[in-house]
């Protein structure tokens, strides 16, 4: 497996095999930082269930990427971001499970209001309101991040977020295994 590639000066996304055959779907991801700690959420349902990750999701129609990230953070853990730092874009292709490329705009936040709480998203199903716990937030020291219970690619890009670096990355998955990746720091 390729550990690191520097592709400065190239059109990053067009160098991937994914861009030639798949459409992208837009997502956001925020990593909350506080001193030597990061806030992660344990996904309780849906895509990524039982994995720790940052907070984020789909960008809604008519919503800016940054506004979508701020909304998702508030919906998933109750924090209100005062300002975001954009690290870059992560692209994910999975050869086995989807015909889409996930285009994930990656942010961190250390200036926020509120306390992290479990999220309850409301769904209207047959005129009944059902509360579903989506994520359970927990603070981790940066030396104790549970990489073994995260997406395999997180061990490559999350340390760069903690260091405050800007970068773009492409990860090629087969099911839940990283086959190859490229990271472009700038």
Taking only the tens place, the pLDDT of each residue in 152-181 is 999 999 999 999 999 999 999 998 899 999
Domains of the chain: 13-185 (3.90.79.10)
Task: Please give the pLDDT value at position 118.
Answer: 66
Dihedral angle at the C-alpha atoms of 10, 174, 50, 2, nearest 10 degrees? Answer: -50
Number of C-beta neighbours around residue 72 at 10 A: 23
CB 59 within 8 A of CB 75: no
| Positions of the chain with pLDDT lower than 50, given as ranges | 1-12, 14-18, 122-131
Predicted confidence at residue 45, as pLDDT, reads 77
What's the pLDDT at 15?
Answer: 46
The pLDDT of residue 79 is 95
């Amino acid at each position: 497996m390729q550990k690191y590639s520097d592709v400065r000066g190239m059109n990053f996304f067009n160098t991937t095999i994914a861009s030639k055959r798949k459409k992208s779907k837009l997502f956001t991801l925020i990593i909350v930082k506080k001193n030597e700690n990061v806030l992660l959420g344990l996904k309780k349902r849906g895509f990524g269930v039982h994995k720790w990750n940052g907070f984020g999701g789909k960008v809604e129609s008519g919503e800016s990427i940054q506004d979508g990230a701020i909304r998702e953070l508030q919906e998933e853990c109750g924090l209100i971001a005062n300002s975001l730092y954009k690290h870059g874009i992560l692209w994910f292709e999975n050869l086995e499970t989807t015909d889409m490329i996930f285009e994930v705009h990656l942010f961190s936040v250390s200036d926020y209001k509120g306390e992290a709480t479990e999220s309850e998203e409301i769904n209207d199903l047959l005129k009944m309101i059902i509360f579903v716990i989506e994520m359970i937030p927990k603070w981790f020291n940066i030396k104790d991040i549970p990489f073994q219970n995260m997406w395999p690619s997180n061990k490559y890009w999350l340390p760069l977020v903690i260091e405050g670096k800007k970068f773009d990355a492409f990860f090629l998955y087969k099911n839940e295994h990283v086959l190859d990746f490229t990271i472009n720091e700038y």
